[in-house]
A = this chain, B = another copy of it.
Amino acid sequence: MTFKVISSSDKARMGEINTEKGIIKTPAFSPVATQATVKGISSDELYNLSAEIILVNAYHLYLKPGEKIIKEFGGIHRFINWKKPILSDSGGYQIFSLAGLRKVTEEGVRFQSHIDGSYHLITPESSIKFQESLGTDIMMVLDECTPYPCSKDQTRQAKERTTRWARRAKEAASGLGSIFGIVQGGIDRDLRRESAEELVEIDFDGYAVGGLSVGEPKELTYEVLSYIADFLPEDKPRYLMGFGRPEDILSACEQGFDLFDCVMPTRHGRTGQAFTSNGLVNIRNAAYTSSKRAVDPKCSCSTCQEYSLSYIRHLIYRKEILGLRLLTLHNLHFYLHLMKMIREAIGGGRFLKFKKEFLTRYTQ
């Protein structure tokens, strides 16, 4: 994997991540395929949406379908029929949020499957080994995520363990895929700086920021965002994990982040919420009962070219699968198109102007 910054606009940067499976133009958004599928969407549809990378979750895939089946297919790409790059999250966050009884020791995490209650141990080494058997292009180290609020002492201990685990993960790796470290440290500037410096010393192919959007007030998230990118090397991709709303992505791009993932476009699609150039729209609104216009008249996606608000509203109310499919397609198009506009704005040296104009319409 190589990364190059092609142009920048203030701190925002436009570039490319090159992998054996293809180029990812950055800033990039990765649709989330938690259980080996972007919910409701086929690979062909993702190609048509110009998605260049998708994210799978190692915790979920480790439980189902499990390593044996994926190995028999020669990796996750063939299993799910997706030829472009795939990033695998280590599943650290999912173990902390989904799994039953769990115990964190220096060795790793013992936990109970949320599916069948079976017991498992995942270590920094086994996590990387499993991700290597997935054959993903970007792998994430196992980290210890702290909740909010969390004492400074506890945050420091989790940060330090995250560093030790990151070193073990790097040492266990065979060099088959790229590995990103994950910066922890809660909302503490000193701990965040230490975490970043320690990971940079280990030397990863890219750096992610984790442990944000775990319940802290938005001002604190933005405070961390305002300094954290500066602690990370300029010649490596910076990935803001599980984050977020269009306005969040714009702010993070402004700070110099290159990669994002979030379940919002797919999850909101399933609950009847559409992202539009004029902000988030609730399709269930009575105002759309007989509206013949598109979800977003300015949008060029297949949903907006072919279907009316009224019809999609009918489908959502009747719990028809086609309704959430059409909205999910639209929302993914919205995110991927936003990233394209961001890249063009950075390339044209007018990112801040673009951001302001976009937000004026979006938050009107």
| Chain B residues in 8 Å Cβ range of A314 | 35-36, 64-65, 69, 79
A290 to B67, CA, bound (A): 11
CB–CB B40/A289 < 8 A: no
CB proximity of A294 to chain B, nearest CB, Å:
11
Given contacts A79-B311, A290-B72, contact A317 B64 (CB under 8 A): yes
Report if A325 contacts B (CB, 8 A). Answer: yes
Asked if B290 contacts A69 (CB within 8 A), the reply is yes
Q: Is residue A43 within 8 Å, beta carbon to beta carbon, of the partner chain?
A: yes
| Proximity bits, A308-348, B CB within 8 Å = 1, else 0 | 10110011011011111110000000000000000000000
Asked if A81 lies at the interface with its beta carbon under 8 angstroms from chain B, I say yes
What is the CB-to-nearest-CB distance from A178 to chain B, in angstroms, rounded to a whole number? 25
Q: Could you mark each residue 59-96 of chain A with 1 if its beta carbon is under 8 Å from any beta carbon of chain B, else 0?
A: 00000110011001100000111000000000000000
Among B36, B289, B326, the residue within 8 A (CB) of A42 is B326
Q: Which of B39, B81, B320 contacts A306 (CB 8 A)?
A: B81
Q: Using Cβ atoms and an 8 Å threshold, which residues of chain B touch A103? A: none
Interface hits, A28-44 → B, CB 8 Å: 35-44
**A73 x B325 contact (CB < 8 A):** no
Q: Does A3 lie at the interface of the complex (its beta carbon under 8 Å from any beta carbon of B)?
A: no
A39 neighbours in B (Cβ, 8 Å) = 320-322
5 pairs of residues in contact across A and B, judged by CB atoms under 8 Å: A37-B320, A42-B326, A68-B290, A72-B292, A79-B314
